[in-house]
Structure 1
Amino acid sequence: MKKAGTSIFRYISTTNITSYYALPIALFNSQTCSGLLPITYMNDFKSTCAQPVNEQICLDALNPAKYDNTLCFLTNPETLISDNRSFICCNGPSTPSTWTGSTCSNALRTLTMTIFYLNPTGIVSCSIILNTTSGTLNNAIQQTFTVRFIKNGSIASTTLRSGNPGYIQGAPIIAGTSNGSYIDISDFTILQASTDRSCSDATRIPIRFGENVQSMCLFSPIVFEVCPNQTNLPNIFMPFNSFNLYVAAYGNANPSNITGYWLPVTYCIFEIGSSNEPVCQQGSIPSSSTNQCYIRLDIQIAYANIGSVTNPQPILGAVVFHYQSVTRTYTTTLTTPLLISQSVTFQDISNAPVTQGDQLPRPNVRIP
């Protein structure tokens, strides 16, 4: 039986080699990723540290493939002494980082791992969400590593609850990507400008129920940088590397119960100044007939109040991402910063409440 606090073992099936699974941390009051901490069973983990950018680190510590390529775990350390070891593997592999000139592209920025367990079996499944960015020589990229342990079939944690069942005013909107059987929950945020008005590595603004927000920042070009296009849109506008995005309709939605409780996002694309109508599609972004450079994302969230007038329960009914582009083709290399804007708007689509008065029924009789 796997006990809380015991080490997690990474397993390479091709060589039958096991090792402690550890992730980077900062040591001795330094912000640099200078150490590794072993991950232990049923103990959540979060670490934020900075990686200096050079060619060696780009192809190693900043390489997403290092963290999810052929990543497997032993379900239970008791199988270490067995010739028939039981193990499970996470999703992957990812696209590796590359070094060109003085730029590290597709460098790992965040890793969010969810490990599902069931005692006494141990680990039963796992998934990873990776977000990437770019960095230049002699600068640093801040990395965040998060590991969450979730009992199989249960909601991730009470901190993910934003209401019961309806959303509470100001509570975070719950969202994540689907792997077909459950939702990998991650922060639902929009871009925020840093002190120099840049979009890169800035603290993001969380999307909270009932709070309309708008943000603008400068997408600063680096070597070989091009306009935001349909390939890199998820990594630029949203903290997800996939369009397979779902939003919880209820404030206490279960990530392992998708149908009826999670809303697939509807994506619309529109060219600014065009006379054509927006093209919309649910579950994935519509293919564009021309190469487009996207500069704006407006998120519209519709909800309705259910229940009594004195205790309304806001339930989400639809989430629409409106992407807007300009005529510049996405292959155009940027030479000046590009102004990017995002907004979030909540729309109440509730029917007017119906009041039932306490009146005596009218008699319905006839005189013979």
Structure 2
Amino acid sequence: MGRVMLLLLLGVAVGSEVRLGTGDSRASGAVTICTCDLSPAICDLNCCCDPDCESGDPASVFSFCLPGSVSVRSQVCLYGWLLFRSNSPYPTALIPASPPRTPELFCVLPVDPSLNYFVAPQTVDATNFSKLADKWRAFSFSPLSSPVPTFPDFYKADDPVLAVSRSGTVGVLIQPAPVGAQNLCSDSNPARFLRSSNTSCQREIRNLSDSCLADPWLSARHYYQNISVFRVPKDVINGTALKVELTGPVPDSPTLQGGRCHNVVSQVVYTVLYNGTQGITNVSVRFALVNASGARLQQEFEVNYQASSRDRTRTPCDLQNVSQGVPGVTPASPGERQTYYFQITGSVSAPASGLRRSGNPGYLAGLPVLADTGSLSAPSLQGDGSCSRRPVQFGVNALSGCSIRGELAETCESLRTRAYNVLLGEPWPRQLGAFGNGSTLRIPIIYENCTDQAVGDCKTGCLLPVFLRTQILWAEVGLLSNPQAQIQGARFRFSCRVVSCLDVTVLRSQASFTDITRRGPPPRSHPGITAREPLDFFYPFRTSGSAPACAGPGPVFALLVLTVMLFV
């Protein structure tokens, strides 16, 4: 090892062209596991190790390579002609000459990645599931004690604008925004201080006759009535808030006439006046109304910020009559510059769904958990109150649910089956995929069902499953440099209670993920260097490698004998 280190230093001193830690393409190897190859038979974007990409050099085609798709090796290289012999305890490699006239490279890997690995996870079954789950503490939705929130003295740029409803609930001023492939409106997007923006999204109208008068987001009153905005965040403590003012006349409420819903909101424009750190001084709103008869409604939401020191008068832009020559569009009445009427037609088609992995091979956070029935799903509540399904995402702890109601003539067995179908989906999953790439390795689901009590009827009450706790144990396996998430066990535990069939019963589902990864022993430390004396004056009476420097008095004794002989 000493000679190797000496030659390395020599190469740096005398070879001006020697590159230590070179980035030469010859010093990189292929990736054995392509974690970004999620689409079978399709070239994934920026996945430089995807075998479906026909390019011989994907790095020259893509703008960048995803992490893990190119091999990264920590090694020290120099020209091979500088070395005569290597006694390094570390792995070494000779990189051939490329192009031909360049010398070959001798590379030393000071760190062996095969020494850093995860210990094989424990086998999970019904006998030790509870023990492992208790040891690694699963996620819980139980309320925890939280500190009293504090509010700053003034708004900063991009802070959510705080608001309060008539009931006294503190929230934020909402600016609906599009989500998903169909650009449906989400009412969870807050308006942010000093960020003037415009959003456009679609509302889905399932039943026009019912939604016209029942859905609040169709009425203008929903966007200003009983809404007050806090001047500065600290006003939340004393409850002082500014009421949202209406610009112009009070808009009419939606009415259903001749199969069309009149006075439906199509545009909402908030104007917020502010005065530096003094906060918000005024909030006003104006609307544009339409007549709608289709299954979808396009809405626009705009928030504008203006300094209160400026002229507060604002001339509204005249709305262009873009409806000329368009069938199914009714122009606005004369004199109503802020109001125009049109009809929404057509629909947005959902994107074609194709086969896609949830990781390759290990799961990636946020992607669906695979089951023998497809993707594992949980019940979810739709806007109209009906039950739907949403995918269970790997590593995402979530709580969701919906409600069902029985009929008087329905039996307990039929209602119980319907409740199980809502919680589990149809058909019921029996196995989960251990990896996200759809491999044949499956993990059986441990079911802990309620006591079988299917007798009875809706008059006396039925024992129904009302809560499903889905607990998934997973661990990282493989090398530390490229860990892969693998599901080790899954348990579905039901909680039941007796309910009346005619009552609305809320069914809830909780999904939690517990990491039971065990790391292997630390890698071996760097070997020490055994110091040896070089060949010296006393050769051949003493060899350089016969003993350490402090082995005995041999050199001292020889020097004394030589001195005596000279003087005699």
Tell me which interval the TM-score lies in, with the shorter structure as reference length.
0.3 to 0.5
Q: Could you tell me the TM-score, scaled by structure 2's length? A: 0.29
More helix by share: 2
Instruction: Determine which structure has more spread, i.e. the larger CA radius of gyration.
Output: 2
Q: Could you tell me the TM-score, scaled by structure 1's length? A: 0.44
